[in-house]
Amino acid sequence: MTASLSLSRPAADVPLSLPNVSEREAAYAAQALASGDIGPAGAFRDRFEAIWAARNGTAHAITLSSGTAALHVALASLGIGPGDEVIVPATTYVASANAVLHAGGRPIFVDVDPDTFCIDPAAAGAAVTARTRAIMPVHLFGHPCPMDALWEIARGRRIALVADGAHAPLAGYRGMPLAAAATVTTHSFFQNKILSCGEGGALLTNDPDLIVSATQLRAHGLGLDGRQTYHRLGYNYRLTNLACAILCAQEERADAILARHAELDRSYRQLLASHPRITLQTIRDWAQPVHWFFPLVLPNEAPGTHRVIARLSEDGIGARPFFPSLDTIPHLSAFQAERPQPLTTARRLAERGLLLPLRATMSDIDVERVVEALLAAVR
């Protein structure tokens, strides 16, 4: 196994997030630097895009400057614009809804399942109108959404499934790669994600027309034919070859990283099994999740989330709340006011949800320490 680089640790003894890089990432980055190909094209970019498509079971994959850029390009490539509605779970990072606005569409917020914390298909179906052009499943904290149920809603209605897989690289659905289960899937390689190059994203699809459009949109409208031909108005959403060098190393280490994440998830669940008041994310039997942080919901009688986080911080442990319900964010609240939907679970998760550290560099003793501190904090 490749030795890890020595990194300065933050103040927290068990930080919530810490980059997981090794000598392999440093070596590949050095190769990119030596080649002079540190811009938005090069051998590492081509290599990673080919490998990433193959590993995720899609015909095509392109890299972009961020997961948000990938979502924006996905929506724009589908022609979503003014007057079009995109159904988005209220429990997700703000970037999911922001991408809809960047494309000119209108986000319609729906509630999530209280067990998996992912989009509720019944709520999504109830929100469909003649203006609905897409549903955005967000594979929250690495757990796949119920894609079959969402396709039942979408199929035959000119509705695309644009999956936000920022938390779920290489996850599976019914034994198949999760990324291939949607019209288009996006990934994030931000610094706190499972696989990271600091900042970056990817777009994956089997649709040949969509990938042509997406490739043009990421680079000022240019295609891949090597000519200075501008096919449309585009953006500067390209990822550098230097970043892709790091991603090539991350991909090669991905199986070991994901396996360790699964071990840590099991350890958390075993240690918390005797504390039924704390609600854990349910793993459905059709899901092959990956694990980004360890999510749980505090009981009503426990101290407030921010107080628990403060107590954990005193013990040298990093933690954070779930995302706020999107309808409570100022620039998004008007969309909920215009098309109100029940968001009972999303509001509760925003109030009581807690994310604990889960990363491959943690030890079993770290997990024991986190759980011990958590149980003391919620007494």
DSSP string, 225-248: SSS--B-S---B-PPPHHHHHHHH
Q: Are residues 209 and 329 in the same domain?
A: no
Select from 248, 266, 295 the last residue of a domain. 248
Contacts 24+ apart (CB under 8 A), 207-210: 207/60, 207/183, 208/59, 208/60, 210/74, 210/77, 210/78, 210/183, 210/184
pLDDT value at residue 227: 73
* DSSP SS3 for 263: helix
CATH of the domain at 180: 3.40.640.10
Asked whether residue 52 falls in the same domain as residue 199, the answer is yes
Overall domain count for the chain: 2
* 113 in any annotated domain: yes
What's the pLDDT at 226?
65
pLDDT score at 229: 87
pTM for the model: 0.95
Q: Is residue 8 part of a domain?
A: no
CATH code for the domain in which residue 270 is found: 3.90.1150.10
237 and 320 inside one domain: no
pLDDT at position 332 is: 98
Residue 319 shares a structural domain with residue 210: no
Single out the residue of 118, 239, 130, 129 nearest to residue 181, CA to CA. 118
Whole domain around residue 325: which residue ranges? 253-377
Residue 10 counted as domain residue: no
Residue spans of alpha helices (H) in 5-42: 23-35
CA dist., res. 79 & res. 301, Å (int): 48
Cα 280 to the chain's mean position, in Å?
19
CA atoms within 13 A on the CB side of 352: 21
| pLDDT, tens digit (0-9, with 9 covering 90-100), for 71-98 | 999 999 999 999 999 999 999 999 999 9
Q: Is position 16 within any domain? A: no
Q: Tell whether 209 and 129 lie within a shared domain.
A: yes
| Residue-level pLDDT at 164 | 99
- On whether both 314 and 228 belong to a single domain, the answer is no
**In a domain? residue 13:** no
Q: Are 167 and 282 in a shared domain?
A: no
Pairing, β 132-135 against β 85-89: parallel
User: How many angstroms separate the Cα of 324 from the Cα of each of 69, 150, 294, 371?
Assistant: 21, 24, 17, 24
Residue 12 has a pLDDT of 62
pLDDT tens readout for residues 236-282: 999 999 999 999 999 999 999 999 999 999 999 999 999 989 999 99
Domain membership flag for residue 14: no
Query: What is the four-CA torsion angle of 371, 294, 150, 337, rounded to 10 degrees?
Result: 90
At how many degrees (to 10) do helices 67-77 and 94-103 cross? 40
Residues of the chain with pLDDT under 70: 1-12, 225-226
In a domain, 6, yes or no: no
Pair 207, 112 in one domain = yes
Same structural domain, 149 and 298:
no
CA distance 67 to 80: 18
Q: Give me the residue label for tokens 């509760």.
A: 348
* Residues 84, 188 share a domain: yes
Q: Do 223 and 295 belong to one domain?
A: no
Same domain assignment for residues 189 and 128: yes
CA distance linking residue 32 with residue 233, whole number of Å:
30
